[in-house]
Amino acid sequence: MPDLDARRSAILVACMACKVAILVILEHLQNEEDGAGFSISSQAHILPLVHKLQCMIVAIAQHTDKRRKLTHEWWVKPRSAGWANRVFAGMIDISTYRSHFRTSPSTMEWLCQQLAPLVERMDTHYRQCVPVKKRVAMALFRLTTGAKYSEVAEKFGLGESTAFICTRQLCEALCSQFKHYLAFPKPDSLARIVTKFEQTSGLSNCCGAIDCMRFKIRRPTGPHAGEYYDGNMFHSVIAQVVVDADSRILNIAAGFSGGTGDSKVLRLSGLYDDVQSHKLLNGSSIHLGGGLDIPQYLVGDGGFPLLPWLMVPYEDADFHPYKVLFNQKHSLARRSVLRAFASLKKWEIFDRAMSVDVKTAVSMIGACSILHNMLLYKGEPLDLDEDRLQDYSKHDSLIQYDKDYVEDEEISSEDHVMAFHIRDALAIGTEQHGS
């Protein structure tokens, strides 16, 4: 390398200059002395010392170069990126590509364009930066397959630390700069959502389906670690989501401890306060007969409280045909949130307990939720088996079905009564309209 040759040349020149300088000094001293000082014999003793000094300088230089060479070789240890090169060269089929990255190659290019200003890094004097496409691909591979960082590093011919950094940067970039993909829709868009729910389920004025899902994590440290135990032999964090009829996530609140019931999660979320203060679900009501208007509402399972804006299924539907019909329509409307959860579970990073702290786990959940919506926006298929959708809420924990009556007591009696009347009017109205 040019820099290394330059250093060697400089050292040799310095040695020669040192030797010449000493000889000049000796000659000068000899001329000034009357012979009693330095003599030729004295020089004979000094010159070997000078020679030894020169040899020591050269030896040190060679040793330094050797150590530097070894260190450099370790630092830039050559790794094979053959698999990644084949991927980027388009040498794998589309199905395999999606199984590794959840995207098509064209959507991958679009994602890279969107993310480039946030994840791109500059070259340095020591090494070239990892290209944007490889950085994004490494992170998506990690999230999609759940592969360990060692496997990601091997696949892409880079170090484990690089794989970790790229994954973290992608999640942070998405959660900080792409939150608009999870924004609750404006009134015009909400009207289209209402129409779609009515078409797919038969329920009128429904604006979304809500549910909670638990994501396994390693046992947190600290005095509140026990709160994350979810009753299913795991520690977990909860994400509450609201989705539209196409399974697009409209709202998410994540990071609640796994031992918290769904009802309490709702009360702790910003969504509850926004709806109660009429910032959300404040659109027009509809009239189905019976003298009662039906406001905009969400549908949720039995782990949530019945509210004027949150419809849950009847528990005593067996002998009331209109209640049975309502529960059937309610179940159809909730399929959209089951599809969303099934799609999130396809990010295999969530298959086992995430070996990260709670903050990082929440970042990963948020990033995958945003990616879920971005992929829907680009028309990427969810590839779900509609006949095998799981109700993840029922498989999570029985805790969520233990109604938090303390919290429910904060709901006014008027709201309780109004909620029952609204549900009955909705159920009877949809039955009469033959929807």
Specify whether 222 is located in the same domain as 265.
yes
Specify whether 210 is located in the same domain as 272.
yes
Q: What percent of the chain has pLDDT over 90?
A: 59
Specify whether 286 is located in the same domain as 190.
yes
pLDDT tens by residue, 299-343: 999 999 999 999 999 998 777 899 999 999 999 999 999 999 999
Higher pLDDT, residue 411 or 53: 411
Specify whether 190 is located in the same domain as 153.
no
Specify whether 391 is located in the same domain as 340.
yes
Q: What is the pTM of this model?
A: 0.79
Average pLDDT in the 381-386 region? 86
Q: Which of 19-33, 34-48, 200-214, 309-323 has the lowest mean pLDDT?
A: 34-48
Question: How many structural domains compose the chain?
Answer: 3
The predicted pLDDT at position 67 comes to 46
Specify whether 286 is located in the same domain as 169.
no
The predicted pLDDT at position 304 comes to 95
Residue 204 lies in a domain: yes
Residues 229-237: contacts with CB under 8 Å, at least 24 apart = 229/258, 229/259, 230/258, 230/259, 230/396, 230/397, 230/399, 231/259, 231/397, 231/398, 231/399, 232/396, 232/397, 234/258, 234/353, 235/353, 237/358, 237/361, 237/362, 237/365
Check whether 368 has a pLDDT greater than 70: yes
Residue 41 lies in a domain: yes
Residue 68 lies in a domain: yes
Specify whether 11 is located in the same domain as 63.
yes
Contact 138, 83 (CB under 8 A): no
Specify whether 156 is located in the same domain as 226.
no
Specify whether 62 is located in the same domain as 109.
no
Specify whether 100 is located in the same domain as 31.
no
Residue 99 lies in a domain: yes
Residue 356 lies in a domain: no
Domain end residue (candidates: 46, 75, 104): 75
Q: Which helix (H) or strand (E) holds 380?
A: none
Q: Which of 39-48, 140-149, 172-181, 189-198 has the lowest mean pLDDT?
A: 39-48
Higher pLDDT, residue 74 or 176: 176
Task: State the pLDDT confidence band at 175, using cuts at 50, 70 and 90.
Answer: very high
Decide the pairing of beta strands 297-299 and 206-217. parallel
Domain end residue (candidates: 122, 156, 179): 179
The amino acid at residue 400 is: Q
Q: Which of 48-57, 128-137, 292-301 has the lowest mean pLDDT?
A: 48-57
**Domain residues for 94?**
88-179
Residue 364 lies in a domain: no
| Mean pLDDT taken over the chain | 83
Burial 186-222 (b: 16+ CB within 10 A, else e): eeeebeebbeebbebbbbbbbbbbbbbbbbbbbebee
Q: Which of 33-37, 157-161, 266-270, 293-297 has the lowest mean pLDDT?
A: 33-37
Residue 360 lies in a domain: no
Domain end residue (candidates: 162, 179, 196): 179
Q: Tell me the CB-side half-sphere exposure of residue 313, using CA atoms within 13 A.
A: 19
Decide the pairing of beta strands 286-287 and 235-243. unpaired
Specify whether 19 is located in the same domain as 96.
no
Check whether 93 has a pLDDT greater than 80: yes
Specify whether 170 is located in the same domain as 237.
no
What sign results for the dihedral spanned by CA atoms 305, 306, 311, 312? positive
Continuous H helices in 378-435: 392-396, 405-408, 413-432
Residue 355 lies in a domain: no
